[in-house]
Amino acid sequence: MSLGEITRVSLAKDLRLEWRSKDAINSMLFFALLVVVIFSFSFDPTAEESRHIAGGIVWVAFLFAAVVALNQTWARELRNQVLDAYRVSPAPANALFISKAVGNFIFVAVLEALMAPLFMVFYNLRSIGPAYQLVVVGALATWALVANGTFFAAMSIRTRSREVMLPLILFPISIPALLAMVSATTAILTGEGAYRFWVVLLVVYDVVFTTVCLLLFETVLHAE
Amino acid sequence: MSFSSAPANSLATNSSQPTSAAVTLSHVSKIFGRFAALRDMSAEFAAGKLYAILGDNGAGKTTLLRAMVGLAQPTRGTISLLGNEDLRAATHHIGYMAHPTLLYEEMSGMENLRYFAALYGIRDDQPCERAIRAVGLDPALTRRVGHYSQGMRQRLSLARALVHDPKILFLDEPFSNVDVVSAREMVHVLAQMRDLGKTIFIVTHQAVLLEGVADEFVFMAAGQISARARELPSSLERGAPPARTTL
């Protein structure tokens, strides 16, 4: 069976498990909703101020919420040690990585689609720049979060305090991507700043880190 | 995979089976920190036989099994499966049943087996249905594994290990939490598979179940093979510690 076929089968399995348990999506939604509500009570920005700070709030909320999904995605492989069944099979390690990363991308994208209208309402947001660009930034930024996050979550699953370990590893390495996604979003919302530069930075970040993750994932999967 | 209706057999019925080595251990040690789980172990296991691996808790049975399937890398020494020291290259021929079930509880038995079969390049449902029937379960059962009884989970776990028709089966405590009747049925299935030429390793504390079925009893103590015997020592049948009977 090809890499693509096993990726498809593994992704379908993950989507089915999430559809039945709703572990990741429920906890992400609840977490992101809390962040929106708490921040909206903490600040009372004008529409102009909102455009300047919303990019930061939105992406920090999504980053924290994504960590919940990233932990869940591997936690279900640890129950009953199911991951060992994959490790003793001839299936390529990268098929598992790609399926998990794509699965997490879908979960986080669903979260973003559900939370975006709430952000607009709570922060009185209206984009001055072309709003369709937010979709491009959203896709690139989400992949930056989930590709690294899936990889580092796999690294931390065998550690004793994996829920704490993942943010400790993931957040520092995500700083360049976070800077790019926040700046690009702010540039679109305010109609000012170098949108293209930040998008290119996100593309480069995605390509470099996805490549590195693919090269190293087999070692991580088969590590004891 | 097709299972004959031949009864659980004895050593004599295996005389026509191939006797080349299925697994060869050469000075294998596995050390965790300051604890040696396996200590300079060398042994050869012929193909087409059923081995019962016995020993007290902490004797190294599970570590040995994990090392043989490639889940634990030996600290020293080499393991060869079917003449191949690259265990990754032999994964098509390995069936592994661990102490945990290695199953997704949110999926049904067939859904689980379809997924694991796909990892071995199997696309159609027939091998999955055969494996489920072979362990006495119903492939049409739509109930999720999380709602199965412990015995049903163990049977399905065995079916998962069988689904790709492996040449070597490694089973860790397959009869734990299984009632005696079900356990005897599982033994019968395994004996049939051995008769078809498969090599089977069973780690168990219920050695009596394999009496008259296992070709060899391998006793482990303190990370080493302390004895190998063709028959279960009578002292063990009475519940006493294993005698050091050698072949």
Q: How many domains does chain A have?
A: 1
The answer to whether residues B112 and B104 touch, using CB atoms and an 8 Å cutoff, is: yes
Q: What is the pLDDT of residue A50?
A: 78
Domain that holds residue B90: 21-237
Count of all residues that appear for chain B in the document: 247
Which three-class secondary structure state does DSSP give residue A214?
Answer: helix
Average pLDDT value for residue range B209-215 = 92
Residue B77 C-alpha, separation from nearest chain A C-alpha, in angstroms? 17
DSSP sequence for B147-186? GS-HHHHHHHHHHHHHTT--SEEEEESTTTT--HHHHHHH
Average pLDDT value for residue range B142-150 = 93
**Chain A residue at shortest CA distance from B166:** A89
Using a CB-CB distance cutoff of 8 angstroms, which residues of chain B are in contact with residue A87?
70-71
pLDDT in tens, B169-185: 999 999 988 888 888 98
DSSP B209: G
**Chain B residues near any Cβ of chain A (below 8 Å):** 69-73, 88, 91-92, 94, 96, 98, 100-107, 111, 115-116, 118-121, 123, 144, 160
CA–CA–CA angle B56, B194, B221 (5° rounding): 15
- Name residue B225's beta-bridge partners: B220
Q: Is the pLDDT of residue B246 over 90?
A: no
Q: Tokens 């992704």 sit at which residue? A: A11
- Mean pLDDT rounded to a whole number for chain B: 86
Q: Is the pLDDT of residue B9 over 50?
A: no
Is B151 among the domain residues?
yes
Q: How does residue B235 score in pLDDT terms, banded at 50, 70 and 90? A: low
State the pairing for strand pair B94-97/B21-32. unpaired
User: Which residue type is seen at A187?
Assistant: A
Q: What is the pLDDT of residue B237?
A: 57
Residues in CB range of A215: below 8 A, 6 or more apart: none
The answer to whether residues B189 and B8 touch, using CB atoms and an 8 Å cutoff, is: no
Q: Is the pTM of this model over 0.90?
A: no
Q: How does residue B93 score in pLDDT terms, banded at 50, 70 and 90? A: very high
Q: Is the pLDDT of residue B107 over 80?
A: yes
pLDDT in tens, B61-87: 999 999 999 999 999 999 999 988 888
Q: How does residue B3 score in pLDDT terms, banded at 50, 70 and 90? A: very low
d(CA A48, CA A59): 18
Q: Is the pLDDT of residue B17 over 70?
A: no
d(CA A156, CA A110): 25
Exposure of A101 in the CB half-sphere (CA atoms within 13 A): 26
Of residues A205 and B240, more confidence is placed in A205
Cα R_g (chain B), whole angstroms = 17
To 10 degrees, what angle do helices A93-122 and A3-21 make? 50
Which residue, among B88, B115, B167, would best test binding to A if mutated, counting the most A CBs under 10 Å from its CB?
B115
Domain that holds residue A195: 3-222
Q: What is the pLDDT of residue A90?
A: 94
d(CA B169, CA B94): 6
User: Which residue type is seen at B228?
Assistant: R
Q: Tokens 């079916």 sit at which residue? A: B159
CA–CA–CA angle B31, B34, B40 (5° rounding): 35
Is B12 among the domain residues?
no
**Ranges of chain A whose pLDDT falls below 70:** 1
User: Which residue type is seen at B186?
Assistant: M
Nearest to B148 by CA among B119, B184, B182, B198: B182
Q: Is A89 on the interface with B (CB under 8 A)?
A: yes
Q: How many domains does chain B have?
A: 1
Q: State both tokens at B239.
A: 């519940």
Is B13 among the domain residues?
no
Here the ipTM equals: 0.88
Q: Which of B55-64, B65-74, B226-235 has the lowest mean pLDDT?
A: B226-235
d(CA A75, CA A103): 14
Which residue, among A15, A80, A94, would best test binding to B if mutated, counting the most B CBs under 10 Å from its CB?
A80
Q: Domain of B105: which CATH number?
A: 3.40.50.300
Cβ–Cβ contacts within 10 Å for residue A98, how many?
24
Q: How does residue B138 score in pLDDT terms, banded at 50, 70 and 90? A: very high
The answer to whether residues B175 and B183 touch, using CB atoms and an 8 Å cutoff, is: yes
Q: How does residue B34 score in pLDDT terms, banded at 50, 70 and 90? A: confident
Average pLDDT value for residue range B188-197 = 93
DSSP B122: -
